[in-house]
Chain A
Amino acid sequence: MGFLELKSLSKSFGDEIVLDGVSLSVPEGGTLVLFGRSGAGKTVLLRSIAGAIDPDGGFIAIGGEDVTSVPPEYRGIGMAFQNFALFPHMTAYDNIASSLTSKRMSASEIRTKVDAVARLLKIEHVLSHAPKALSNGQKQRTALARALVAEPKILLLDDPLRNVDAKLRFEMRLELPRLLADRGATIIYVTQDYKEAMALGDRIAVLDQGNIVQIGSPEDIYRRPENTQIAQLFGDPTINLLDVVPKQDDRGLHAFLSDQRVDFHGRFPGVAGRDCIVGLRPEALSFAKEGGFPVTIEAVTPFNEKTVTLATTLRGREILLSQPAQDPVPAGPEVNLQIAAQDAILFDRATGQRIAPEPDGNQVEEAA
Chain B
Amino acid sequence: MDHTSFLERWFRRVALSIIVIFFMFPIFWIVLMSLQTNETILRSPPSMSFVPTFDNYLAILAGRLDSNVASMGINFVNNLMNSIILSVCSVAVALCLGVPAAYAFARHKFKGSEDIAFTLLSFRFAPPLLVLLPLTLYFQEIGLADTYLGLVWVYQLICLPLILWIVRGYFEDISPDIEYAYRIAGHSWFSTFRKIALPLAGPGIAAAGLLAFIFAWNNFIFALVLASADKQPVTVGALAFVTASGIQYGQIAAAIVLSIAPTLALALWAQKYLVEGLSLGAVKG
| Interface contact A51-B186, CB-CB below 8 Å | no
Complex CA gap A103/B185 in Å reads 10
Q: Kindly provide the distance from the CB of A155 to the nearest chain B CB, expressed in whole angstroms.
A: 11
**Given B175, B176, B181, which contacts A146 in the complex, CB threshold below 8 Å?**
B181
Identify the closest chain A residue to B174 (Cβ): A88
Q: What is the CA–CA distance of A51 and B184 in the complex, to the nearest angstrom?
A: 8
Contacts of A86 in B (CB 8 A): 178, 181
| A73–B200 touching, CB < 8 Å | no
Q: Is the CB of B187 within 8 A of A81?
A: no
The A31-88 residues at the B interface (CB cut-off 8 A) are 47, 50-52, 71-73, 75, 77-79, 81, 83, 85-88
Known interface pairs A87-B196, A88-B200, A89-B200. Does A99 touch B180 (Cβ–Cβ under 8 Å)? no
| Among candidates B176, B185, B189, residue contacting A98 with C-beta atoms closer than 8 Å | B185
Per-position contact with A for B196-212: 1 when CB-CB < 8 Å, else 0?
10011000000000000
In the assembled complex, the CB of A112 is this many whole angstroms from the nearest CB of chain B, namely 18
How far apart are B230's CB and chain A's nearest CB, in angstroms? 45
Task: Point out the residue from A73, A89, A101 that lies within 8 Å of B184, measured CB to CB.
Answer: A73
Say yes or no: B177 contacts A72, CB within 8 Å. no
Q: What sequence of 0s and 1s flags, for each residue 103-115 of chain A, a beta carbon within 8 Å of any chain B beta carbon? A: 1000000000000
Contact status A52-B185, CB under 8 Å? no
Interface membership of B183, Cβ < 8 A:
yes
Smallest CB gap from B196: residue in A: A87
Instruction: Determine whether the beta carbon of B188 is less than 8 Å from that of A73.
Output: yes
* Contact indicator A85/B177 (Cβ below 8 Å): yes
Task: Give the residues in chain A near B175, CB-CB below 8 Å.
Answer: 83, 85
What is the CA–CA distance of A89 and B203 in the complex, to the nearest angstrom?
12
**Known contacts A47-B180, A50-B180, A81-B177; is-contact A89 B186 (Cβ 8 Å):** no
* Residue pair B184, A52 in contact (C-beta under 8 Å): yes
Are A50 and B178 in contact, with the CB atoms below 8 A?
no
Q: What's the Cα separation between A85 and B184 when bound, in Å?
A: 12
Measured in the bound complex, the distance between the Cα atoms of B156 and A33 in whole Å is 53
Residues of B146-191 contacting chain A, CB below 8 A: 175-178, 180-189, 191
Judged by a CB distance under 8 angstroms, whether A351 is at the interface is no
Give the residues in chain A near B182, CB-CB below 8 Å: 87, 98
A304 near B: Cβ within 8 Å? no
Query: How distant is the Cα of A315 from the Cα of B191 in the complex, in angstroms?
Result: 67
A89 to B, closest residue via Cβ: B199
Q: Is the CB of B178 within 8 A of A85?
A: yes
Distance from A333 Cβ to chain B, minimum over Cβ atoms (Å)? 50
Return chain A residues, CB-CB under 8 Å to B187.
73, 98, 101-102
Closest chain B CB from A99 CB (angstroms): 4
Contact A102 B185 (CB under 8 A): yes
Bound Cα distance A81, B178 (Å): 9
Chain A residue at minimal CB-CB distance from B200: A89
Least distance between A219 CB and chain B CB atoms (Å)? 33
Residues of A within 8 A of B189 (CB): 71
B178 to chain A: closest residue by CB: A85
A215 at the interface (CB under 8 A from B): no
Question: Smallest CB-CB separation from A98: which chain B residue?
Answer: B185
The tally of residues in B whose CB lies under 8 Å from a CB in A reads 18
The CA-CA distance from A50 to B258 in the complex, in Å, is 57
Q: Are A102 and B180 in contact (CB under 8 A)?
A: no
A48 CB to closest chain B CB (Å) equals 12
What is the CA–CA distance of A231 and B191 in the complex, to the nearest angstrom? 47
Asked if A146 meets B185 with Cβ closer than 8 Å, knowing A85-B175, A88-B200, the reply is yes
Name the residue among B181, B182, B188, B199 with the largest chain A CB count within 10 angstroms.
B181
Does A150 reach chain B (CB closer than 8 Å)? yes
Contacts of B181 in A (CB 8 A): 79, 81, 85-87, 146
Tell me if A72 and B180 are in contact (CB < 8 A). Answer: yes
Within A104-154, the residues touching B (CB, 8 Å) are: 146, 150
Specify which chain B residues have a CB less than 8 angstroms from the CB of A98 in the assembled complex: 182, 185, 187
Is there an interface contact between B184 and A78, defined as CB atoms closer than 8 Å? Answer: yes
Q: How far is the CB of B283 from chain A (nearest CB, A)?
A: 11
Task: Please judge, given known A-B contacts A87-B196, A88-B200, A89-B199, whether A51 and B183 are in contact too, CB under 8 Å.
Answer: yes
Which residues of B lie under 8 Å from residue A52 when comparing CB positions?
176, 180, 183-184
Q: In whole angstroms, how far apart are the Cα atoms of A163 and B230 in the complex? A: 63
CB distance from A278 to the nearest CB of B (A): 44
Q: Which of B175, B182, B189 has the most CB of A within 10 A?
A: B182
> Are B186 and A103 in contact, with the CB atoms below 8 A?
yes
In the complex, the answer to whether A71 meets B200 with C-beta atoms within 8 Å is no
Interfacial chain A residues near B185, Cβ < 8 Å: 73, 98-99, 102, 146, 150
Q: Give the chain A neighbours of B188 by CB distance below 8 A.
A: 71, 73
A99 and B183 in contact, given A83-B177, A87-B178 (Cβ under 8 angstroms): no
Asked if residues B186 and A99 are in contact (CB atoms below 8 Å), the reply is yes
Residues of B within 8 A of A73 (CB): 183-188
- In chain B, what residue has the closest Cβ to A99? B185
Distance between Cα atoms of A87 and B199 in the complex (Å): 10
Q: Which residues of B contact A83 (CB under 8 A)?
A: 175, 177
A83-B177, A85-B175, A85-B177 given; A77·B184 CB < 8 A? yes
Q: A73-B184, A150-B186 are in contact. List 18 more A-B contacts (CB 8 A).
A: A71-B188, A71-B189, A73-B185, A73-B186, A73-B187, A73-B188, A79-B180, A83-B175, A85-B175, A85-B178, A86-B181, A87-B182, A89-B199, A89-B200, A98-B185, A99-B186, A101-B187, A146-B181
A contact set with B: CB distance below 8 Å: 47, 50-52, 71-73, 75, 77-79, 81, 83, 85-89, 98-99, 101-103, 146, 150
Top 7 closest pairs, chain A to chain B, by CB = A102-B186, A85-B177, A52-B180, A85-B181, A99-B185, A72-B183, A98-B185
29 contacts between A and B (CB under 8 A): A50-B184, A51-B183, A51-B184, A52-B180, A52-B184, A71-B183, A72-B180, A73-B183, A73-B185, A73-B186, A73-B187, A77-B184, A78-B184, A79-B184, A81-B177, A83-B175, A85-B175, A85-B180, A86-B178, A87-B181, A87-B196, A88-B178, A88-B200, A89-B199, A98-B182, A98-B187, A99-B185, A102-B191, A146-B181
